[in-house]
Structure 1
């Protein structure tokens, strides 16, 4: 999803009283800490209840209206909210707000107080985003994850936004995620994130996020197609090209074939594009992941496939909505990533896979990815069309959505013939 972030910075003023899994998402100590933590808490409790138990997050009914509040008025409103949510800011009387460029759905600000010097991140949700994001679920997970040292610590919420810890990190670039060493580091971290389901297992009745989103977004897209078609001849011809009614009618068949892949359901980020992964500006060079708007329980194949799809994006180019399929990782690059993912699994479990077992595991993951890359294209294609109809941000969401849908339709045609033999 095109939501590139910029540089974030970290403050260590708040300490957790609970066992900390890591100061970064990508830390090999996860499983031992997870095991220790799990001895004292009921892993079967719903995530929402656990979030309330782990981390009481302050909240206020205040709201920021970015359309009418500008300049000093905006700063006064922001400072008033921060003071209510973060007691340490009670003696601050002046702030500077720097808006992060490039964020596509939310307005994100670095808020700095000079005397005394403090910094936080202020996030104001975009208009209409509640159609796409389950805020209650997101905040529940943020509360859990931040208390485990994963991502930025959630400091408080207001009606249409939240205040987060400020991280001293550098956002990765489109080239960084292709770097072999960084790619392997991301792979290991992705396994650690997936392993969170060992502490907070999903219920068998839980619907995976990909299908939950598709079920919710398809009716929205159906309702807005007439309005999109009226925008221009280009919009109309592109929409007609997809024959979306036919595509929607084949979703049960598509799901049937994906379910047959038996990809394990784990806790997933679902949006590990390069703008959501950052490297600390210290001697460790460790990585941290941010923006958990779309996180939840999903097939592991979806999360890995979705990351591979993000290799094709360049959100800071002259055509930020254009995808470049030729940049999708080669088979060798995929295998290298998967080997690191499985290395982390074996390390966490204290096992050593035989060459035969490792080869089978890699092939299984490749099969999962082959199918779920199509699910990623379809889900974010729907997302793009919805944003094209409602977002006021200067970004070609329609092009982004249609490019993802084109990749789905073309790929599904080939994959359907392969799995059905027709």
Structure 2
């Protein structure tokens, strides 16, 4: 064992065992540790312990829902099984998946892109999640937090309020059933072993429009227009113009809404990371879409449902 994380000794799964810890990279609201047994007692342990950081309430994270939805994703065949949950310790223990996180460049491989899209489809076809996720509600909540606490907001952010409302109306004109969504599928939350793809990290999970999930990956992974079309086709099979427009508008929603997450973290997080720049990258993408020549067409096509 190691003295680096003494609370690990309080986990039932590690009781009476000899084990060692390896820090895992990534995680802006968690510290992730790989814990493996180094004794001869069966079964051999190979686990990931997700240790929560403080401040989850500012970001709207529900740790109980995260645990329940992680288990549901495992049941759907795309996530790691839950081994132990200790909210009193701020720890969620899941199985270690022997696969590598993707990068933005990984999606240039058509096989990787297709496997990832099929994993998303499996998640969406799986058991319903605990709780719902709506970026319009989340954006309003984050904006309220920023105002109430006097956190910094970039100039001009609120000037897009009318355009934001138009996006909401266009998406509501052709409402779609919600499905279980991760809602935070950046490249590193896809794990791939060359044959199969898993989806990890369910902090922001909830039932949502499938197109938000797809649009979130489009913008987080920097897809080109051609990649976006291939991504939507890999998911839908034979997408309509409305499907593509809806994904592109939801990519805008991801940028405009999640940018506020960055601005909150910039003001409140103790982690040494440039959260302001993280937020600005997404805000700049949102501004580009709001101001693009395609914006009006996207609204019309998404609202048409055809």
TM range (shorter): 0.7 to 0.9
2:24 corresponds to which of 100, 103, 115: 100
- Alpha-carbon distance in 2 for matches of 1:362, 1:216: 32
Instruction: Note the C-alpha offset of 1:216.
Output: 1.9
1:376 corresponds to which of 245, 248, 254: 254
TM superposition score normalised by structure 2: 0.85
Match of 2:103 in 1: 173
Match of 2:84 in 1: 156
Tell me whether 1:306 sits opposite 2:216 in the alignment: yes
- Alpha-carbon distance in 2 for matches of 1:128, 1:75: 20
Q: How does 1:91-170 map to 2 (within 5 A)?
A: 91-92=16-17, 94-116=18-40, 117-132=44-59, 133-158=61-86, 159=88, 160-170=90-100
- Alpha-carbon distance in 2 for matches of 1:405, 1:192: 31
SS at match of 2:26: coil
Match of 1:189 in 2: 119
Query: Aligned pairs, how many?
Result: 291
Relative to 1, partners in 2 of residues 1:195 and 1:378: Cα closer, same or farther, differing over 3 Å? Answer: same
8 Å CA contact 2:133–2:205 kept in 1: the answer is no
Instruction: Note the C-alpha offset of 1:413.
Output: 3.4
Match of 1:270 in 2: 183
Match of 1:228 in 2: 152
2:198 corresponds to which of 288, 295, 310: 288
Relative to 1, partners in 2 of residues 1:251 and 1:175: Cα closer, same or farther, differing over 3 Å? Answer: closer
Relative to 1, partners in 2 of residues 1:193 and 1:146: Cα closer, same or farther, differing over 3 Å? Answer: closer
Match of 2:134 in 1: 209
Relative to 1, partners in 2 of residues 1:176 and 1:389: Cα closer, same or farther, differing over 3 Å? Answer: same
Relative to 1, partners in 2 of residues 1:275 and 1:262: Cα closer, same or farther, differing over 3 Å? Answer: same
8 Å CA contact 1:110–1:120 kept in 2: the answer is yes
- Alpha-carbon distance in 2 for matches of 1:102, 1:200: 28
Instruction: Note the C-alpha offset of 1:142.
Output: 1.9
How far does the alpha carbon of each residue in 1:156-205 deviate from its partner, in whole angstroms, 9 at most, with x for none? 12221211112211222222122111111112222222222xx5399xxx
Instruction: Note the C-alpha offset of 1:372.
Output: 1.1
Relative to 1, partners in 2 of residues 1:219 and 1:75: Cα closer, same or farther, differing over 3 Å? Answer: closer
- Alpha-carbon distance in 1 for matches of 2:134, 2:84: 25
How far does the alpha carbon of each residue in 1:28-57 deviate from its partner, in whole angstroms, 9 at most, with x for none? xxxxxxxxxxxxxxxxxxxxxxxxxxxxxx
Match of 2:224 in 1: 329
Select the structure with the greater relative contact order (CA < 8 A; seq sep ≥ 6).
Answer: 1
Match of 2:304 in 1: none
SS at match of 1:228: coil
Q: How does 1:45-84 map to 2 (within 5 A)?
A: 72=3, 74-78=4-8, 80-82=9-11, 84=12
8 Å CA contact 1:311–1:329 kept in 2: the answer is no
- Alpha-carbon distance in 2 for matches of 1:247, 1:219: 16
How far does the alpha carbon of each residue in 1:199-233 deviate from its partner, in whole angstroms, 9 at most, with x for none? 5399xxx8643233223212012234x4437xxxx
- Alpha-carbon distance in 2 for matches of 1:249, 1:365: 23
Relative to 1, partners in 2 of residues 1:188 and 1:126: Cα closer, same or farther, differing over 3 Å? Answer: same
SS at match of 2:45: strand
2:290 corresponds to which of 412, 415, 422: 412
Tell me whether 1:392 sits opposite 2:270 in the alignment: yes
- Alpha-carbon distance in 1 for matches of 2:135, 2:62: 13
Relative to 1, partners in 2 of residues 1:201 and 1:393: Cα closer, same or farther, differing over 3 Å? Answer: closer
- Alpha-carbon distance in 1 for matches of 2:230, 2:75: 32
Instruction: Note the C-alpha offset of 1:373.
Output: 1.4
2:233 corresponds to which of 339, 342, 345: 339
Instruction: Note the C-alpha offset of 1:243.
Output: 4.3
- Alpha-carbon distance in 2 for matches of 1:174, 1:201: 27
